[in-house]
Amino acid sequence: MTTTDAVSRAKALFKSKFGADAEVGGAAPGRVNLIGEHTDYCDGFVFPLALQFSTVVLGRKNPAHADTVVVCSEAQNQETAEFAISDGMKAGEPAWTNYVRGMVSIYRENGFDVPGFDAVVCTDVPIGGGVSSSAALEMSTGIFIEELCKKTVEKETRALWGQKCEHTFVGLMCGIMDQMISSKATLGHALLIDCRSLECEEVPLTDPGVSVVVCNSNVKHTLTGSEYPDRVRQCKAVASAIGVKALRDATMDSLNSVKDKLSDVEYRRGRHVITEDNRVLECKDALISKDYPNAGALMTASHASLRDDYEVSIPEIDFLVELANSFPGVFGSRITGGGFGGCTVTLVKTENANALMEKMSQDYYAKYAVNVSSFITTPGSGAHPVDIS
């Protein structure tokens, strides 16, 4: 699957739904995070790369309905939804439209005269797999709006508007990583992001002898809705106890100095974030120097921390990580994304990558009677307009 595939499907879907050809479009990738989980909302460091899979939004102005948006999503069984463009727009139903509603509202707040439009959404990004299909939809919608209005914004600005969309229309108080990599990615490079300054460092990942394998467990455990905000709150409590703005400013010495003031859970949450930030920076240096064994060891240590200290892994993911780490040619493996299911990311010698995916598929099905979805990825490009001529 490629962006070209999604574009072709989107063009056909638009024609069938609206009886005309789409005129403009935007595309944006999902992402996999090599290392640096649950550090972004602590002002820390993350190290993602864009996938070769993208979400595409195609459409055109609808002069007959200047204040109405009609949007159809292929992934939602071709459900079509309609909402009015107005000041003070709010979230609504169906829930998937809030990514579009939010971006329309935020662009309007920032001087874009967004007209009524018809649009379709097609994606090759696995939904609910921890590879940020939501940011891909936000950034592709942003590009679509810019093309529609013939006006652009800086990549960083677009990312920040996407984050605001998550906060205000989706209700998820996420960090900036997902939107930033989807907006700013450069082909062939991972991106080290400083989530406080928003400074980014491109790190080439072009060695043909090493591959990144993403494995979707296709399991998502039922959550109460409190897991993510609880961890955000716990991290803020630890930072407050230490007396720093965010855990990015803390050290293990400063954490240990207030250990008696913290619960065991708070202490472990803080330990994860502090050590994870260090692992991110060390992993970046290791990959630059092509020290793949060290980079892999850091990824595996990250998984152990996420499993034991941050408690966001699940048995199915642990099984895949352990299987990968015992396989020939694997440097390291870990859970990626917010947790409680989703995907693993594995750094492996290219010559062993296909055999690893086959082994994961066989052994995982034998244990859980669930099929995994695995693929080899190289760093893709960020959000961009779609040529639909």
Nearest to 30 by CA among 117, 175, 135, 109: 135
The span from the CA of 387 to the CA of 370, in Å, is: 38
DSSP H or E stretch at residue 217: strand 210-220
379: its two tokens: 């760093």
The span from the CA of 168 to the CA of 305, in Å, is: 31
Q: What is the CA radius of gyration of the chain?
A: 21
- Which residues on adjacent β-strands are paired with residue 71? 81, 119
- Sign (positive/negative) of CA torsion 195, 196, 199, 202? negative
- Sign (positive/negative) of CA torsion 210, 212, 217, 222? positive
- The CA-atom distances, in angstroms, between 105 and each of 143, 162, 385 are 14, 11, 20
Helix 264-288 with 292-308: angle, nearest 10 deg: 170
Nearest to 212 by CA among 314, 322, 357, 340: 357
- The angle at the Cα of 121, spanning 119 to 125, to the nearest 5 degrees, equals 165
Distance of alpha carbon 203 from the chain centroid: 18
Q: Is 5 a catalytic residue?
A: no
Q: Which of 43, 178, 277, 309 is catalytic?
A: 178
Residues involved in catalysis: 178
